[in-house]
Amino acid sequence: MDKNNKQTKGRQRIDTSKRRESEEDRLITFSKRRSGLYKKGSELCTLCGTQLAILIFSPSGKPFSFAHPNIEVIARRVLETNTRSDDQDYNGVMDACRRHSIGELNEQLTLISNEVEYEKERGTKLAQATKARQNRPLCEQKIDELSDYDAQKLKAWLLELQARINNRLDELNAAQATHPSAVGTIGGNASSSSYGYGGIHFKNFH
Amino acid sequence: MDKNNKQTKGRQRIDTSKRRESEEDRLITFSKRRSGLYKKGSELCTLCGTQLAILIFSPSGKPFSFAHPNIEVIARRVLETNTRSDDQDYNGVMDACRRHSIGELNEQLTLISNEVEYEKERGTKLAQATKARQNRPLCEQKIDELSDYDAQKLKAWLLELQARINNRLDELNAAQATHPSAVGTIGGNASSSSYGYGGIHFKNFH
DNA sequence: GAAACTATCTTTAGAGT
DNA sequence: TACTCTAAAGATAGTTT
């Protein structure tokens, strides 16, 4: 090899504001960067003591997830599903969330997120075993494979939520006459406080 | 300038397997790395055409989120919020977040996530304005302040979900007699698809 | 005290195996 | 297909403004 001729071209710049055209490149990049993202997330957790959940759907629609904490939660769920007996621990997780001043709905969201992840995985596992479920929509798999315990719990929450929403709807109906619909501009108001990477926007809520 | 006299020490290595001891360092690191994580996530979305959601709870329990897609939802909300004329407060609270696209239940998950975030923020804003609501539970604030549109939508989804859950419960009831409780090991099943960084585990669902 | 800077550390694109 | 290697691109810890 010529000394001036580097052994490889090394890392090349790519335009991160464009989708990779090649199917193969996209797959490779997805794999590499997903790992990178998980690692970053993991480090954020350990360095700052945060809790984190990442959900990714690949170009082909495959779901991937990363979360901290969750080994315990997922493990507990597996145990629960297998033996189903401990409300204690289950509620303990919820209480822990509450104590962290995460709002109730958010807590439920996290809970559901876990459901989804767990059931999704279990669905896949079962699918591998039976192959029969493979073509069913993901959402059905998830719901249809909820444990009795989780289904009851989820149902209870949904009922409660629904009641509150119905109240809200009643409220809105009652106030409908006095509710004018005004319209404002986005750009003018949002520009000073919102920004994005590559045209995608995000928010922090303080 | 003398090249040997560096202006700064530049980036120093830190141990990513340990929590930052200093409260201040932790806060700074959290802020910087959260941005970095969002950026990585964003790039992954654009490069590979994936759909993504990230939820982070800061050490103090504050929720942060990032998702792709959903700019439209946010945009509509900004419009809505702008009609209320307290844009200054709104801007002060807003920071950043990104959105792209996702699968069925996850789409709903993101939707709810947005609901939560939006309502939480709006709840806070209103609380600042009126002070009266401040002592009400967050969850009530959120539900009670849902727009008619969102409330209807959320309700519709809940009804559908509920129907599926009821089906599942019926299924479980019917199968109860024939349902032996099989027990499997966690490690055995999960090991082939889970691994981790620094003790935090994640999974891929194939 | 947030934003900018900069030297260094970390990630990763492309190529090879 | 999945690792490994290399060097450039990119992220960021500590500092300065």
Ordered strands of the B51-57 beta sheet: A203-204, B63-68, B51-57, A51-57, A63-68, B200-204, B194-197
Distance from CA of A100 to the nearest CA of B (A): 5
The chain A residue lying nearest B115, using CA atoms, is: A105
The CA distance from B157 to B162, in Å, is 8
Any idea which residue has 């969201």 for tokens? A109
What is the maximal distance between C-alpha atoms in chain A? 82
Residues of chain B with C-beta less than 8 angstroms from the C-beta of A55: 52-54, 102, 106, 109
- Locate all alpha helices (DSSP H) within A131-190, ordered by sequence: 138-144, 148-175, 187-190
Question: What CA–CA distance (Å, rounded) separates B149 from B137?
Answer: 23
A64: Cβ contacts below 8 Å, ≥ 6 apart = A34, A55, A56, A57, A58, B203, B204, B205
Please tell me the distance in Å from A1's CA to the nearest CA on chain B. Answer: 33
- Is the predicted pLDDT of residue A43 greater than 70, yes or no? yes
* CB B122, CB B145: distance < 8 Å: yes
- At A184 the pLDDT is 23
What's the confidence (pLDDT) of residue B168? Answer: 54
- For the cut 80, the answer to whether the pLDDT of residue A38 exceeds it is yes
Q: What percent of chain A has pLDDT over 90?
A: 8
Give yes or no for a contact between A68 and A113, defined as CB atoms under 8 angstroms apart.
Answer: no
Rounded CA-CA distance B202/B206 in Å is 13
Cβ of B48 and A20 within 8 Å? yes
Give the pairing of strands A196-197 and A200-201: antiparallel
Question: What is the pLDDT at residue A163?
Answer: 55
Residues of B in contact with A38 (CB under 8 A): 197, 202
Residues of B in Cβ contact (< 8 Å) with A166: 155
CA dist., res. B138 & res. B119, Å (int): 9
Highest mean pLDDT among A113-127, B139-153, B172-186: B139-153
**Quick check: A21 pLDDT over 70?**
yes
Question: Nearest to residue B169, comparing CAs of A171, A147, A20, A5?
Answer: A147
CB within 8 Å of chain B, chain A residues 11-50: 14, 16-20, 26, 29-30, 33-34, 36-50
Task: Report if pTM > 0.95.
Answer: no
Q: Which of A81-95, A167-181, B18-32, B45-59 has the lowest mean pLDDT?
A: A81-95
DSSP B13: P
Of B94, B116, B165, the CB nearest to A193: B94
pLDDT tens string B129-163: 333 222 233 333 344 445 555 555 555 555 555 55
Query: Which residues of A are less than 8 Å from B56 in CB distance?
Result: 44, 50-52
Measured in angstroms, what separates residue B43's CA from nucleotide D4's C1'?
25
Q: C-alpha B91: how far from its chain's center?
A: 20
DSSP-derived secondary structure for B44-56: HHHHH--EEEEEE
Summarize pLDDT for B92-138 with one digit per residue, the tens: 222 222 222 222 233 334 444 444 444 344 444 333 333 322 223 33
D5 nearest neighbour residue (CA to C1')? A8
User: Using CB atoms within 10 A of its CB, is residue B150 exposed (0-12), middle (13-18) or buried (19+)?
Assistant: buried
Tell which residue, B122, B96, B87, has the closest CA to residue A184: B87
